[in-house]
A and B are shown apart, each in its own frame.
Chain A
């Protein structure tokens, strides 16, 4: 919402400075968005008298002028065809910055004649497009005066943001009222004189859609002349960025901003019949004043004459009945429309207009009769003519309501010690009238323009609530909401900065744990992976559907209806998908050896709430290069090591896990593993990416990845740790080499060895896998080290030998292994 300082002062009697006004606006919730003063750039331009203009001796198109701008007569060379002796013009001396170009004017010599400055066109001052000649001022323009002052350009334009609850401040008068209430001056009275009709007749209203329009009034004015508006009105509009059109249209725009009261004008000569009906649209097409066609449907309120739809109520008028310079009889519309319907219609047609903006926030219903009188007076003043009767349909809806505030609540809710008198004074300056007041409370009547205070309460309570609880809460809301509205007004006008700050009282000397076990797990996972050499990333939750499909399901239910870009339309099935693409971007920058991880949501229709929290990681390229350890490509075991470290860190016992070979489809079928806890729970997986996915997405290889479903990790049991096992005797270690079929899982060998003598064997480590030439076809050799832990006494050689035999026998039984 824009207005000029002088416009504001037409409603507000104040001597406050511009800075004080703008600071106060921000403080009371009418946030300042900008102040511009077009006059500031023209500060050194002055009104000048061209004493003489003669032909330049050396140039056909130039004139040499003697110019008086208030301090001596200067020589100026001018190329404008209209430069002539005796005229008044705008002069800029050397050193001035020319607004249109930003150039600094210099004293120069043009074809042998000295030029001490410049006479300016409108375009050179950024005041319009006219460059046909220099600006010509009236003869009485005072020589030497600042041109900006003379032309009234020193009028700062103030722009504020109006919040959705303050429809009343979409008007200069509303802003003035708030500033006055905040102590910045006095609101000037607004009392339009009632102008009696001098003839009878003209169009009248019929409401066939009362839900959309409870009340509408109109007035015909005939015999007028619709010319361009006078300068003061054009200035009002151009300063705030509106284009003057003609007097009648300008009057409607003026009141839209001045009073926040949109009006519409119909050219009566273009109307068919004398009834304007408000009804539901019926699929008709209307060409609007913006030149575009709109099809109105049954949810739109259309204003129709005998020929059809002539206006979309509250949003935009029709071109066919618009006013132009030929208009001699006008019908002025001043209506009250349902805000919700206006909002819906506007949104459906994607039409943003100053009228819609105001209607959808709700208008002052009581202002309508005054507004039509004010509009009549201005039209008569600008266009002449004679007024007909005010005609109306529907009736003023009951808007009157009271609100009560207990003074004690200003402190116990608002935290402020504003005295009762000051609080009541603030409300009165805002237009509330006191109905009743005692020591404890005040009851006020809410002014017609404040539809945000003590409004009709609409709740949207959870259907799962206990009915008695829900009813009590609703009753509480009804009892307290209007009071809160008033407290807000009182606090706002004094400024929220004035409310003393109080630190939150402590509930206990030492606060309880901030994070849930799941959140703690998440933090540990993050730190573990970062400590393990991976960089944490945050990637988008959405990605291209075609790419998401490569990483599992891309169901329609998780596809955005209105993606911001075609490649961000599908919720990701796993962060691995977006991490793989992140690795690709890094490779494109020349960093192909990266290790990335993310802790974030993976979306799946069948998960609770449609998502699970996972920790995922990707490694690509080679291990770090160094002179001591040879560089090698990353492989599936790197990913498994990450996953194993992660599982250990979040408290999952590796002993209880099984690894199966049925990894997800986007992993290499032979180089991946699914990690399970029991038959049902999948904890995660790891492996090399499937070569097809790698190729399809043009990803950098080799690429390995892992994922842990943090939601699958069991809640930690709050249990004391068992006593540690600290035998007094040294363990004995023996190495074995087993030859097994290639298909035998190493895990089976390890488990069999471990299980052969449970009490004695405390560790089995696999240290070698050999599948080379010295092995029979289809066989491999697995080297394991078994740790025997004596507890009662040192083991004798025969005892160790016997235990070793048990290991061999158990492994042979479980896997068919023979000792090498």
Chain B
């Protein structure tokens, strides 16, 4: 009595197997499940079935319907997969081709070093202050206990600008120390500042540039001693060069604006340039306890306040840290050099990321 159902199942299976693409598959689907499809008319005719058989026939039709639906959907997936396989065969790029060019620039090593310096001294509580490149004689010399006749002036190879209003000619600052003076005049102690910027001296050869960069530190408080100066600089140098046992040596020296003054050397190997070992010493910065005259020139009572100052060449420590041999390319803007030594702008200097 259900022969017609089995016949529909087998004829549909055969038609599905024959359907080679989705269009043929769809024709099979409509022929069976469509409004006038074979199964649809059998379901419609169920009412004509004698009542005593109707229940069994209905159940059989439902089973057939499920089986046909499953078979039709399965065939669809098979056909879609096959079609995609064919499409994928034709969709090909050469993955070795270069992408659209997207150019990234780089940060100059001087800027990078200045950021590193600021990060390290910032962790010690220093803030960064700026000052102008063109300074008055007083800020650059007079306030720093370098009077007009002082032999130290001759060492400075100062650039002068034409005098204004009959006064002493303005100078291009020969060091960042005027920043100390500006700070002491504008804020009350305690003071912890860092002055970074361009400095100028009339000297031009393989190891001197008429423009270079300095970084200057000033710490003024009540109980600051020469021991703190040493500790602060050792902490800085070992962090900056990332050598935890970097040898640091302090030698007596003289600067008009500090007393006692000292030069600071780090250990290195003169032959290989390797820092930290080798038994040779390399002068790296100048420092000292702020001279009482400098404090007094800025209205600070040296009986009450004392502290230290230091200054170092930014290019010099940059060259040492990165093993750069020549000073002149720093200002040359040669893109080949910049690409070689530049820094990724998206890796800003942060102590927690490592310098």
Q: Does residue A506 face the partner (Cβ distance < 8 Å to B)? A: yes
Determine whether B67 belongs to the interface, using a CB cutoff of 8 Å to chain A. Answer: no
Q: Contact between B296 and A476 (Cβ–Cβ < 8 Å)?
A: yes
Contact assessment for B105 and A473 in the assembled complex, using a CB-CB cutoff below 8 Å: no
Interface presence of A600 (CB below 8 A):
yes
Query: Is A502 a contact of B260 with CB atoms below 8 Å?
Result: no
**Which one of B102, B107, B142, B259 lies within 8 Å of A530 (CB-CB)?**
B107
Q: Which residues of chain A are near B348, meaning CB under 8 Å? A: 523, 527
Q: How far is the CA of A273 from the CA of B295 in the complex (A)?
A: 54
On chain B, which size bracket covers the interface?
35 or more
Contact A497 B333, CB 8 Å, known A492-B260, A601-B133: no
- B292 touches which of A481, A491, A561 (Cβ 8 Å): A481
B251 adjacent to A477 (CB under 8 Å): no
Known: A474-B296, A600-B198. A626 touches B105 (CB 8 A): no
Q: List the B side residues contacting A516 at CB < 8 Å.
A: 127-130
**Chain A residues within an 8 Å CB radius of B202:** 562, 564
The residues of B that contact A559 with a CB separation of less than 8 Å are 161-162
A513 to chain B, nearest CB (A): 7
Contact of A496 among B133, B138, B204, B250 (CB under 8 A): B250
Neighbour of B103 across the interface among A474, A601, A624, CB < 8 A? A624
Chain B binder among A5-13, A41-49, A539-547, A760-768: A539-547
Q: What residues of B have a CB within 8 angstroms of the CB of A340 in the complex?
A: 149
Q: Which of A347, A415, A500, A568 has the most CB of B within 10 A?
A: A415
Contacts of B215 in A (CB 8 A): none
Kindly state whether residue A519 has any CB partner on chain B within 8 Å.
Answer: yes
**Contact flags (1/0) for A321-356 with B, using CB distance below 8 Å?**
000000000000000000110011001000000000
Known: A502-B225, A506-B125, A611-B133. A537 touches B296 (CB 8 A): no
Instruction: Indicate if B227 sits at the interface (CB-CB under 8 A).
Output: yes
- Verify if A101 is at the interface (C-beta below 8 Å from B): no
* A99 vs chain B, min Cβ distance (A): 25
Contact partners of A344 in chain B: CB under 8 A: 149
State whether A163 and B254 are in contact (beta carbons under 8 Å apart), knowing that A526-B107, A561-B160, A626-B101 are contacts in the complex.
yes
Q: Report whether B230 and A499 are in contact in the complex, using a CB–CB cutoff of 8 Å.
A: yes
Q: Does B323 contact A (CB under 8 A)?
A: no
* Residue from A459, A479, A591 within 8 A of B303 (CB atoms): A479
A512 on the interface (CB 8 Å rule)? Answer: yes
Decide yes or no whether A627 CB sits under 8 A from chain B: yes
CB distance from B302 to the nearest CB of A (A): 5
A528 to B299, CA, bound (A): 42
Contacts A480-B303, A562-B160 given; does A508 touch B226 at CB 8 Å: no
B143 & A460 in contact (Cβ 8 Å cutoff): yes
B334 touches A (CB below 8 Å): yes
Q: Cα distance A117–B285 when bound, in Å?
A: 51
Contact A492 B105 (CB under 8 A): no
Instruction: In the complex, identify which listed stretch (A220-228, A581-589, A783-791, A795-803) lies at the interface while the others stay far away.
Output: A581-589
Interface contact B105-A530, CB-CB below 8 Å:
yes
Residue of A nearest to B264 (CB): A496
Q: Mark A460-504, 1 if CB is under 8 A from B, else 0.
A: 111011100110111111011100110110011000110111111
* Shortest beta-carbon distance from A519 to chain B in Å: 6
Q: In whole angstroms, how far apart are the Cα atoms of A634 and B185 in the complex?
A: 48
Given A457-B293, A512-B125, A514-B127, also A487-B97 (CB < 8 A): no
> Does B295 contact A477, Cβ atoms closer than 8 Å?
yes
Whole-angstrom CA separation of A221 from B226 in the bound complex: 54
* Residues of chain B within 8 A of A594, CB atoms compared: 335
Interface string of B84-103 (1 = CB under 8 A from A): 00000000000001111111
The stretch of B2-10, B38-46, B51-59, B337-345 in contact with A is B337-345
Instruction: Please tell me which one of the listed residues B98, B302, B335 contacts residue A480 in the complex, with CB atoms under 8 A apart.
Output: B302
Mark B110-154 against chain A: 1 for CB-CB distance below 8 A, else 0: 110001001101111111111011100010001101010111101
Within 8 Å of chain A (Cβ to Cβ): is B234? Answer: yes
Return the CB mask of B216-243 against A: 1 if under 8 Å, else 0: 0001000101111111101100000000
Distance A518 CA – B111 CA, assembled complex (angstroms): 15
Cβ contact of A461, chosen from B103, B234, B297, cutoff 8 A: B297
Report the nearest B residue to A532, measured CB to CB: B105
Does any Cβ of A come within 8 Å of B206's Cβ? no
Instruction: Give A519 to B104 CA distance when docked, in angstroms.
Output: 23
Taking the nearest CB of chain A, how far is it from the CB of B177, in angstroms? 14
* Complexed CA–CA distance, A538 and B328 (Å): 11
B contact residues vs A (CB 8 Å cutoff)? 97-108, 110-111, 115, 118-119, 121-130, 132-134, 138, 142-143, 145, 147, 149-152, 154, 159-162, 164, 169, 172, 185, 190, 192, 194, 198, 200, 202-204, 210-211, 219, 223, 225-232, 234-235, 249-254, 256, 259-260, 262-263, 289, 291-293, 295-304, 306, 330-336, 338-339, 342, 345-346, 348
Of the A-B pairs whose beta carbons lie under 8 Å apart in the complex, a sample of 15, sorted by A's number, is A29-B252, A164-B256, A413-B306, A414-B225, A466-B299, A476-B296, A499-B230, A511-B123, A514-B126, A529-B105, A611-B132, A626-B98, A628-B99, A629-B100, A629-B101
- Residues of chain A having any CB pair with chain B under 8 Å: 26-29, 31, 163-166, 339-340, 343-344, 347, 360-361, 411-416, 457-462, 464-466, 469-470, 472-477, 479-481, 484-485, 487-488, 491-492, 496-497, 499-508, 511-516, 518-519, 523, 526-542, 556-565, 568, 571, 579, 582, 585-586, 589, 591, 594-597, 599-601, 603, 609-611, 623-629
